[in-house]
Amino acid sequence: MDVISSRKRKAYSVAFKLQVVEALRLSPRPNISQIAIRFGVDRKRVREWNNSYDKLRLIVDAKKKDRKKVQFVRQVRSQEIEDGVLNYMKEQLNLGVSVKNKDLQHKALEIAHAIGLLDFKASNMWLYRWKKRHNIKLGNRENRRQPYHFQQQLNQYSGEFWGQIINLHQYGELNYAPPISSYLQVEQQPYIYGQF
């Protein structure tokens, strides 16, 4: 009873069966025992699959014909909405404003009402497909840039700050104190032995 319960039936894919049979047929000296050991199956299975090779090949060929990928492309309802929302997003990014999904949906509704499509709904699925059509991924750093003038000011401030730190290190004097310097000053207390 233990022997029967320990054995489990295994289901093998048609592709795996073909792989085993082709390995058997392509080997210089076909040996069912070696192929069975190499693929971890019973010798009986290898013999059965070898005898039904033609049937297996027909099954694989039929599946390949059925699996021809048919792409369903939903027609765009209005090219004006597509282009308008894309142009809006590009303008906002050029200004350095972060663009959110709700902003795009509101803009799409605004354009739809302007052209007379009152039944248009800028749903989450519409937005998902629109982003997929235009290869847009919101949420990454590229789409959430800071304005150019902000970056300039930040670079200028950080350059001045690090320049002053270098002066302090080399000459021991600080000509420009950043606003945070008051928090960095530490008063030296005399150390008394045994006091914590």
Work out the average pLDDT over 52-69.
78
pTM: 0.39
Instruction: Tell me the pLDDT tens digit for each residue of 92-121.
Output: 988 888 889 999 999 999 999 999 988 988
Q: What pLDDT, in 10s, does the model give residues 114-151? A: 999 889 888 999 999 889 888 888 665 544 455 555 55
Give how far Cα 40 sits from Cα of 35, 36, 51, Å. 8, 6, 19
> Are the CB atoms for 164 and 176 separated by under 8 Å?
yes
Q: How far apart are CA 128 and CA 86, in angstroms?
A: 13
CA distances from 125 to 14, 97, 109, 112 (A): 37, 24, 14, 16
148: which 2 tokens?
A: 């150019």
As a whole number of angstroms, the distance between CA 23 and CA 61 comes to: 19
